[in-house]
Structure 1
Amino acid sequence: MIKLEGDKNGISECGGIAVVINFLLANARLVLGVGGAAVLGIATLAVKRVRERESKGLSHPTPLSYSLSHPTNDPLRTLSHPTLSVHSLSHPIQKGLLSHPILRKVQDTDHHTTGLFLTPPTLSTLSFSPHPLPLSHSHPIQKALAPEVVHRAESLALDICIEVQGFLHSTNPDMPLGEMSLGGSLLDDLQVVRADHACLLVPLQLEPSLWRLIPGEETLLTHPLHWMVRRVNLEYFPRGRSYWDRFLVGGYLSCRALVSMLSKAVMETMNWPSLSSTLDCLVRPVLGGDELKLEIRPERGDTLFISVVPVLREADVVLTAQVELTQPWDSAWHLSLYPWETQRLTQLDSADQGVRRALLKTLKAVCRHCPALRPLTAAPLANLILHLSDKDVDWSEGCLSGRFQQCVWELIGYLEQGVLPSYFKPSVNMLNGVTEEEVDEMGFMLYCAVSEPDILLI
């Protein structure tokens, strides 16, 4: 039995606690496996929070009780969930709720002395028996966007698409562009909470004999998602033969130069007040930053943001000109894994009538509603589900709640390791860019949700 408990003077012997916690983490993988070690790692955040409050000199010290036991076995994990008592850990959020819940203090009747007790045999017999998550199709957080809301947003985005395409064709008739189209989660029925963003895809037509798409691993960038577009056969077809040669920098098609041209040709040139009058809504470019984005404010409904994204396609490879994703490399293009991920989820669901896409929408809604989880975007969540799909588990409709709960535990493990590999590009970490503080916040929230799952479904 492990027990941490604060006395009336606050947490006693913090140094001793830290020593034992470090001992636990060092040996957890040997006796508990990666999953168990992950939970212990996240659990130490409770101690961290309490010590932070202690250092700030709060007048009411925070008692904490941490116990490990061994209830009946569960196939999901081989670790019992620790029960924490953490009173008033963080700032309040909606309707007076806490971002970190108030959990019950566990009283251990076997020990009357405040302190820390470690019994190694207890650790080796730990198992996990989670609280069930109250997840059902009637739960408000799972409700899909109303069809009329989605249709209205799609129709508005399509109107913008037609106007931008017509303007570019009239002002730059020699620019070889394919048919523009809409893309993203709104069009794939994967958007949640609000129908508020879409992509306007601008396909560039390159001459196959003059250009070669080079994978990131073959370039000096060495990043698997950073590709380059090289101009070839210059000895036979000199510079100027292709329209896109004007954006060459060092023998490569410059993503930044192309985006800069489109910014001037569209964002700074189109008559947005006139277009706003025609469409009966406010349409204007979002200035500042590298992203090409339009803001549309209809008379009713949510504000819609449309990202204008130049794309290159070759077989199943889709490269996008998104400087915000590839900076500081001006000639780097971004390999979009989104088409592969959404297609794979659809294929798997079609094969077994699964609920992977429904689970993805639920997880996205949870993360969007919960401030601590907002750094978890759609991409890591989709990859999480794809990894879980490789395991022999049931994806039928009745197992949605179980798969949701399993995703919570999988996320705790990935956060503890700091790595969530891309399903299609394992060398890519889907948690890259998430700060250590954000990892702490997300891990602690998910850990608390093990014993208080309703905090994720409010």
Structure 2
Amino acid sequence: MAGYAQKQGKRSDGTGLAGVVDFLLANARVVLGVSGAAVLAIATLAVKRLIDRATSPPDDDSDMKAKQKSLEESWQELSLIQTMPKSQLPLRREKLEEPLLSPVVDGTTEDPEDVVPSSEMLPAKSKTQLCLTLQEKLLSRYQDHISVSEAKKILGKQLSKDICAELQDFLKNKCSELPFGNAFLSGYLCDGLIGGGTLEVAFMLPLVLESSLWTLIPGEQTVVNNPCFWMIKRTSLEYFPRGNSPWDRFMVGGYLSSNAISSALRKVLVASINWPAISSMLGCVVRPVMAPEELKLEVRHEQIHLDITLCPMMESGDKTLLAASLKEPVENLWQQSFYATEVSKLKDLDARDSGIRQCCLHLLKDVFEIHPFWCKLTSSHLIHVLLHLSETESDWSEAALAIRFRQVLEELLQFLEEGSLPCYFDSRINLLGHLRLEEIDDIGYTLYEALAEPDLWSGLGL
């Protein structure tokens, strides 16, 4: 009887119930799983607290309130588990050890897919991209990366004039037998179309030819049958044999060889002129570019960078012919240049309607120069596309910049699909004629991909 009474006493003090609880909790995970075990644990804890409250002597009011609050929180957590969607419970084995309960916020839960991150959670760059339109991005890029200060323009022009004067003096002193005309500056820096980090200048070096001994042959009458390329033929050989003209030394097959003249000038630039002395005098670094097919000088100043191209040229009436700058070996071809007419027409159109064609050209040029395929198209190609588009679109105000910018790219894509970009001033000339079919396909495909992107800015790699 004493043993029985002792067992009854143990049951009355709660240790028997504790053993049952411990047994259930130890085996609930196996029988009921993780979620079931959690539910059972919280429910059992709540019941145990009720029993303890009934069997224990009354405490002070503060202890009772704390216990009451703890009990209410336990039932609150239990109700949350019961109402939790099944999709939120971890299902995979590797997630069984993760906590099931998340911090309670006003007694409600939210589906993670329905939560939209606030602007404070986004990085600064993302917030900027979300709030700026294509129009604003284009204007911002023009202002921050393309626009060149007047001080840099003035400095670039002054350096170009000084270097051009040194080159002209050398040619007169060392190559006096060749009648060169007065060299003059041209290019985007001089015409106000410059933009970006490097300023582009052209040294135009006219050749003075005897009109009675040389005549121009149109491109369609030559073996290349291309109206863009002309030839200069030596005439009156029966009366004025070879040697009567100082340019006869550059004649190949009866024609004035642009290749021979360019090669001679390249030797002058690379081997004859003392550029270190000129650099020291002008306070900059001037050095020739070593590429065999180019007549270029690089000028590096602490404030600006200049790219100078030497252009042997011949003028006849309203035509300007430049020595053909082709990678393939050429002997007698002279390429007709429309640069002066292009720039004049573009500026005239903008002056008439206060347009943004020149700004659009700067932005396009900035994009194309950094692309591995698009860089094969020059500013001249872009100008002609702008001129063609100006025939059909009349609104070139600043507010329409983003629309016109995209339209120029779409117009260019159409020309690439056709494999032909007609010259604005002579439709017989295909400005894409110097590119291989594979190169045109590469440019067209990558441009199509960029235009297909929902965000054109990202598609252009900016």
Measured against aligned partners, the alpha-carbon deviations of 1:280-302 in whole angstroms (never above 9, x if no partner) come to 2222222231211112222x134
The offset of 1:174, in angstroms, is 2.7
The offset of 1:253, in angstroms, is 0.4
Q: What SS does the aligned partner of 2:232 have?
A: strand
Instruction: Name 1:441's counterpart in structure 2.
Output: 446
Matches for 1:126-137 after TM superposition, within 5 Å: 133-135=134-136
The question of 1:222 aligning with 2:195 is answered no
Instruction: Name 2:312's counterpart in structure 1.
Output: 310
Matches for 1:193-204 after TM superposition, within 5 Å: 193-204=196-207
**Which whole-Å CA distance do the structure 1 matches of 2:391 and 2:380 have between them?**
17
Are 1:136 and 1:401, in contact at CA under 8 Å, matched by a contact in 2?
Answer: no
Are 1:367 and 1:376, in contact at CA under 8 Å, matched by a contact in 2?
Answer: yes
The question of 1:156 aligning with 2:175 is answered no
**Which whole-Å CA distance do the structure 2 matches of 1:174 and 1:152 have between them?**
34
Matches for 1:159-308 after TM superposition, within 5 Å: 159-298=162-301, 300-308=302-310
Are 2:315 and 2:321, in contact at CA under 8 Å, matched by a contact in 1?
Answer: yes
Instruction: Name 1:319's counterpart in structure 2.
Output: 321
- Long gaps (5+) in structure 1: 1-94, 98-130
**Which whole-Å CA distance do the structure 1 matches of 2:259 and 2:369 have between them?**
31
Q: 1:96 to 1:429 in 2, by over 3 A?
A: farther
- Percent of pairs with identical residues: 38
Q: Which residue identity lines up with residue 425 of structure 2 in the other structure?
A: F
Matches for 1:290-369 after TM superposition, within 5 Å: 290-298=293-301, 300-324=302-326, 327-369=328-370
**Which whole-Å CA distance do the structure 2 matches of 1:151 and 1:221 have between them?**
42
Bigger radius of gyration among the two? 2
**Which whole-Å CA distance do the structure 1 matches of 2:202 and 2:233 have between them?**
26
Q: 1:236 to 1:223 in 2, by over 3 A?
A: same
Using the size of structure 2 for normalisation, the TM-score is 0.65
Moved more, 235-244 or 209-218: 235-244
**Which whole-Å CA distance do the structure 2 matches of 1:226 and 1:145 have between them?**
35
Matches for 1:380-399 after TM superposition, within 5 Å: 380-399=381-400
**Which whole-Å CA distance do the structure 1 matches of 2:269 and 2:408 have between them?**
42
Q: What SS does the aligned partner of 1:196 have?
A: strand
Measured against aligned partners, the alpha-carbon deviations of 1:121-153 in whole angstroms (never above 9, x if no partner) come to xxxxxxxxxx97424774223552111122222
Greater relative contact order (Cα 8 A, min sep 6): structure 1 or 2?
Answer: 1
Q: 1:269 to 1:370 in 2, by over 3 A?
A: closer
Q: What is the CA RMSD across the aligned residues, in angstroms?
A: 2.6
**Which whole-Å CA distance do the structure 2 matches of 1:141 and 1:370 have between them?**
18
Q: Which residue identity lines up with residue 292 of structure 1 in the other structure?
A: L
Higher helix share: 2
Q: 1:369 to 1:141 in 2, by over 3 A?
A: farther
Instruction: Name 1:428's counterpart in structure 2.
Output: 429
Q: What SS does the aligned partner of 2:153 have?
A: helix
**Which whole-Å CA distance do the structure 2 matches of 1:241 and 1:231 have between them?**
11
Q: Which residue identity lines up with residue 179 of structure 1 in the other structure?
A: N
Instruction: Name 2:115's counterpart in structure 1.
Output: none
The question of 1:376 aligning with 2:355 is answered no
Q: 1:443 to 1:375 in 2, by over 3 A?
A: farther
The offset of 1:435, in angstroms, is 4.2
Q: What SS does the aligned partner of 1:324 have?
A: coil
Moved more, 286-295 or 381-390: 286-295
**Which whole-Å CA distance do the structure 2 matches of 1:411 and 1:162 have between them?**
40
Are 1:248 and 1:254, in contact at CA under 8 Å, matched by a contact in 2?
Answer: yes
Instruction: Name 1:402's counterpart in structure 2.
Output: 403
**Which whole-Å CA distance do the structure 2 matches of 1:137 and 1:151 have between them?**
26
- Long gaps (5+) in structure 2: 1-123, 127-131
The offset of 1:219, in angstroms, is 1.0
Instruction: Name 1:51's counterpart in structure 2.
Output: none
Are 1:216 and 1:228, in contact at CA under 8 Å, matched by a contact in 2?
Answer: yes
Q: 1:288 to 1:171 in 2, by over 3 A?
A: same
The question of 1:416 aligning with 2:417 is answered yes
Instruction: Name 1:38's counterpart in structure 2.
Output: none
Q: Which residue identity lines up with residue 417 of structure 1 in the other structure?
A: E
